[in-house]
Amino acid sequence: MHADNGAAMRERTFTEVARRDQIVRAAISTLAELGYAETSLGKIARTAGLSSVGMISYYFDSKADLMAEVRTTVLAGAEAEVGPRVRGAPGKLAALRAYIEASLEYIAGHTAEMAALFEISSGRRTRVESTEEDIEAVSVRIVAELVAGAQEELGIPDPLDPRVVARAVRGAIRTATAARVQEEGSAHPVDLSREGPRIADLFERSLRFVPDPGGSR
Amino acid sequence: MHADNGAAMRERTFTEVARRDQIVRAAISTLAELGYAETSLGKIARTAGLSSVGMISYYFDSKADLMAEVRTTVLAGAEAEVGPRVRGAPGKLAALRAYIEASLEYIAGHTAEMAALFEISSGRRTRVESTEEDIEAVSVRIVAELVAGAQEELGIPDPLDPRVVARAVRGAIRTATAARVQEEGSAHPVDLSREGPRIADLFERSLRFVPDPGGSR
Amino acid sequence: MHADNGAAMRERTFTEVARRDQIVRAAISTLAELGYAETSLGKIARTAGLSSVGMISYYFDSKADLMAEVRTTVLAGAEAEVGPRVRGAPGKLAALRAYIEASLEYIAGHTAEMAALFEISSGRRTRVESTEEDIEAVSVRIVAELVAGAQEELGIPDPLDPRVVARAVRGAIRTATAARVQEEGSAHPVDLSREGPRIADLFERSLRFVPDPGGSR
Amino acid sequence: MHADNGAAMRERTFTEVARRDQIVRAAISTLAELGYAETSLGKIARTAGLSSVGMISYYFDSKADLMAEVRTTVLAGAEAEVGPRVRGAPGKLAALRAYIEASLEYIAGHTAEMAALFEISSGRRTRVESTEEDIEAVSVRIVAELVAGAQEELGIPDPLDPRVVARAVRGAIRTATAARVQEEGSAHPVDLSREGPRIADLFERSLRFVPDPGGSR
DNA sequence: CATGAATGAGGATTCATTCAT
DNA sequence: TATGAATGAATCCTCATTCAT
């Protein structure tokens, strides 16, 4: 076997990097267009303008390997946009808002990547490595930290469970994305560029909310 | 062809009903365990303890037909538990809470069914019929109505967009489900039986929240 | 096995005869509509309004058995119409003309039967019995006798080989039939009712023709 | 997909050409031997000495694709022999004779090809493309032109309908072919090499025939 | 008489992967 | 580096036939 994507790397030639990138991009398009179940190496090769399927096998150990690379690439791209904005936010609540808004903006501008990511995570079951941690689990942990910080920052007397909120936040982002894809032809499609602030508002309200001391619940 | 799911209905034998049920249950298990992409009629047959794949084809016109039956079955089960509780709730806010709690309770007791449903909706691309409306779209519409009613009920001065909230609610439910599946082996798995009230609390807070006139935002 | 279509017959009950006929007629329709390759016992059963395929197996030993019955039935029908007219003709030449015209008239009125017959003879290869003689071979022999008789009758000095003429006659009949089926949607479809006399004229001319003693050929 | 028979042509490797040819030849043998209904890719593969069925799918997009190639190949071969002789004939009547004789000579030397062609045209129902015009329809049109020309050439007072004659000619050719295949084991098999001139004689007589002014008919 | 159930072989097709060049 | 060739398993599906009731 020639290709190798393990931990201890050898150098990659320029051609190799370019080819891999070309293939990964073709895979993203294909996944987004056809879905995981209908995506084959042959179709990816055709999308990439490659004459043979063997070419992919040459650069990637297996289909799973390619899928993993797609995942990594897409996640890295998202992190590159979302991460700095979260880290540059003044305070935890602002960071949470930044996370939500940046996520939805990124999603809005990278439909194919997100669709591909979605297809991979829902279409594949066999984990390549144990290190390939679940996207959602990681995201939830990160968001939960922001939520916990924000509630602390706000000094809420009866805080919500950060992980519950975090899962809701992630769910809201995911559902908004999915809705956008599905309502594409609808009369009132979801406008992702406006969705971010609205979702942020929603969660900010729940975090800011102070239970009425004499309230019913 | 023997199996028939068209308009002009035929009587169904006892054996037929039993077999179909047996196959549907096997399909649910297989989908939940392997995911849509890895679920084949052969694997379903093996799970069902059937000797031949042809047996499935005998009772279902096609794989799509079987998947549709799975979908219908699971949705009917969920509706039977969630629907009455929502309709029996005193008021819209209570109905929203009932919806969330009942959903999570049902999910908690029917992990495999929900996973199967999830796999079908995300894994299949070719819609069987246009009438087979997207589960999420329908759910969002229903929840949005509850949200709108609740906000009206509460007399909130600056209400949130009901559809934004609805998508967040659905997202929270889905993510909680997914989290439960994925964290099965984890140290702190999600306890779905407690998750419902917490998610309901979260959204109730955001709906009850009255912006401070002199607040920072 | 219950059904039996061998030579030494036992009595057939009324129901049995009726059922067999019903099935044979359904087979003819199906063959004519779908062609041999697409005709299955299941489809024949559905066409016949029978609920189960087993019914056919009950009355016919095998698919081949049913096909043989279809063949026999159709041929008997044709013979019943063509035979008397040929035998009643005044003279051999007239008999040949009667054969051609009656054949085409019968074909014109029994499209489905003829199509079914055509499908069976071209679609199936495994001979059921050696006694199931080839239709064409038999027909050619019969026509050849008429041709030979006609030439004798006319006293042609340099007669044509009767079998050559006979094969041409049969070919003309077949091709006319096929042309009718294929040109159904065409602008100038073949009118089978007029085709008979024309084909008869054609062959009568070739039989009547007396070579010019001083001619080139 | 590897095989390609679309518009945008790709270079064909030496191996590819050889393999395709090998498969086409195997298909011809199988069709001729078993008939269309019994011809499967598996049997063709076995005939071709190929270990796997997948091999055929690798070189041909579908079974229909392969059948189309068989058709094209056989027709091209026939045209290459018959065409020049028809076009080189001195006059229309001579051309008609050349057509008949050349056709039967070609058929005599290519029994399997012709049988395969016959099986394909009669066994398949779903037309690949509308441009794939029916062989018989085309042939009849060509022959009809020759017939019309010949009658004009001969200056016959009461000419026959050229299309009627053309269909008869085609029918005679086809029936002679079929007869040859079926009478292979017979005592007096048809000798196709002598059949051509005889059939030509037959039709020449009918074209040359001048009705007797005082004749019976 | 009739039917529904069941079976298992065989149909075409797709695909990931390996290999020789 | 790159490519085309080849393989064999697995996909869904159809079908003729058998059998128990």
pLDDT tens digits for B123-150?
766 544 445 567 888 899 999 999 999 9
pLDDT at site C3: 47
Q: Which residues of C touch D165 (CB under 8 A)?
A: 202
* D87 in C contact zone (CB under 8 Å): no
Query: Which of the pair, A65 or B135, is modelled with greater confidence?
Result: A65
Query: Above 50 in pLDDT, residue D196?
Result: yes
CA–C1' span, A111 to F4, in Å?
Answer: 35
Query: Which of the pair, A193 or A84, is modelled with greater confidence?
Result: A84
**Distance, CA of D108 to CA of D197 (rounded, Å):** 13
Query: Which of the pair, D129 or C100, is modelled with greater confidence?
Result: C100
- Please state the rounded mean pLDDT for residues A50-66: 92
User: Could you give the percent of chain D with pLDDT greater than 90?
Assistant: 62
Q: What is the pLDDT of residues A110-130, one digit of tens each?
A: 989 998 988 887 766 554 434
**Distance, CA of A31 to CA of A39 (rounded, Å):** 6
Query: Above 80 in pLDDT, residue B6?
Result: no
- CB atoms under 10 Å from CB of B209, counted, come to 21
pLDDT at site A134: 75
Report how far apart, in Å, the C-alpha atoms of B10 and of each of A111, B95, C112, D212 are: 45, 39, 30, 71
CATH superfamily of the A63-207 domain: Tetracycline Repressor, domain 2 (1.10.357.10)
Q: Cα-flanking dihedrals φ and ψ of residue B161, to 5°? A: -70, 120
* CB spacing of A176 vs B167 below 8 angstroms: yes
- CB atoms under 10 Å from CB of A138, counted, come to 11
For residue B130, give how far its alpha carbon lies from the nearest alpha carbon of chain A (Å). Answer: 13
* CB spacing of A175 vs B167 below 8 angstroms: yes
Q: Which residues of B touch A103 (CB under 8 A)?
A: none
For residue C11, give how far its alpha carbon lies from the nearest alpha carbon of chain D (Å). Answer: 35
Query: Above 70 in pLDDT, residue B9?
Result: no
CA–C1' span, B108 to F13, in Å?
Answer: 36
Most confident listed range (A192-196, B188-192, C35-39, D201-205): D201-205
Which candidate from C164, C173, C174 shows the least CB-CB separation from D198? C164
Q: Which residue is nearest to nucleotide E7 (CA to C1')?
A: B52
The pairs formed by A42-49 with CB atoms below 8 angstroms and a separation of 24 or more are A42/D1, A46/D1, A48/A22, A48/A23
CA–C1' span, B64 to E7, in Å?
Answer: 23
List subunits contacting chain D, requiring 3 or more Cβ pairs under 8 Å: C
Nearest CA in chain B to A33: B125
Query: Above 50 in pLDDT, residue D146?
Result: yes
Q: Which residue is nearest to nucleotide E3 (CA to C1')?
A: C52
Q: Give the model's confidence band at D37: pLDDT under 50 very low, under 70 low, under 90 confident, else very high.
A: confident
* A55 burial via Cβ count (<10 Å: 0-12, 13-18, 19+): middle
CATH classification for the domain delimited by A1-60, as one of 2.60.40.10, 2.60.40.1180, 1.10.10.60, 3.40.190.10: 1.10.10.60
Q: What is the pLDDT of residues D2-18, one digit of tens each?
A: 544 444 556 788 899 99
pLDDT at site B217: 47
pLDDT at site B121: 80
* C117 in D contact zone (CB under 8 Å): no
Query: Which of the pair, D95 or B177, is modelled with greater confidence?
Result: D95
pLDDT at site C178: 76
Q: Give the model's confidence band at A12: pLDDT under 50 very low, under 70 low, under 90 confident, else very high.
A: confident
Which candidate from B118, B160, B174 shows the least CB-CB separation from A201? B160
Chains C and D touch (3+ CB pairs under 8 A): yes
Q: What is the pLDDT of residues A138-187, one digit of tens each?
A: 899 999 999 999 999 999 999 999 999 999 999 999 888 777 666 655 66
Nearest CA in chain B to A198: B164
CA–C1' span, B95 to E18, in Å?
Answer: 60
Query: Above 80 in pLDDT, residue D215?
Result: no
User: Could you give the percent of chain B with pLDDT greater than 90?
Assistant: 64
User: Under a CB-based contact definition with an 8 Å cutoff, are residues D8 and D53 in contact?
Assistant: no
To the nearest whole number, what is the mean pLDDT of chain A?
85
Q: What is the pLDDT of residues B167-217, one digit of tens each?
A: 999 999 988 877 666 655 566 667 787 899 999 999 999 999 987 765 544
pLDDT at site D9: 57
Residue with tokens 């007589």: D205
Asked if strand F contacts C57 at the CB level, meaning under 7 A, the answer is yes
pLDDT at site B7: 42
pLDDT at site D178: 74
Could you say which nucleotides of strand E lie within 7 A of any protein CB atom?
A: 1-20
To the nearest whole number, what is the mean pLDDT of chain C?
85
* CB spacing of C122 vs D125 below 8 angstroms: no
The pairs formed by A13-22 with CB atoms below 8 angstroms and a separation of 24 or more are A16/A59, A19/A55, A19/A59, A20/A59, A20/A60, A20/A69, A22/A48
* D193 in C contact zone (CB under 8 Å): no
Report how far apart, in Å, the C-alpha atoms of D205 and of each of A141, C164, C209, C212, D93 are: 97, 13, 6, 11, 11
pLDDT at site C9: 52
Q: Where are the domains of chain A?
A: 1-60, 63-207
Q: What is the pLDDT of residues A26-46, one digit of tens each?
A: 999 999 988 888 899 999 999
User: Could you give the percent of chain B with pLDDT greater than 70?
Assistant: 83
pLDDT at site A193: 78
Which candidate from C118, C174, C205 shows the least CB-CB separation from D175? C174
Nearest CA in chain D to C205: D206
User: Under a CB-based contact definition with an 8 Å cutoff, are residues B68 and B23 in contact?
Assistant: no
For residue C171, give how far its alpha carbon lies from the nearest alpha carbon of chain D (Å). Answer: 4
Q: Which nucleotide is nearest to A43 (CA to C1')?
A: E15
* CB spacing of C175 vs D176 below 8 angstroms: no
- Please state the rounded mean pLDDT for residues D191-210: 92
Query: Above 60 in pLDDT, residue D214?
Result: no
User: Under a CB-based contact definition with an 8 Å cutoff, are residues D111 and D193 in contact?
Assistant: no
Q: Which residues, given as ranges, of chain C have pLDDT below 70?
A: 1-11, 122-133, 180-189, 213-217
**Distance, CA of C43 to CA of C34 (rounded, Å):** 10
Same fold, C1-60 and C63-207: no
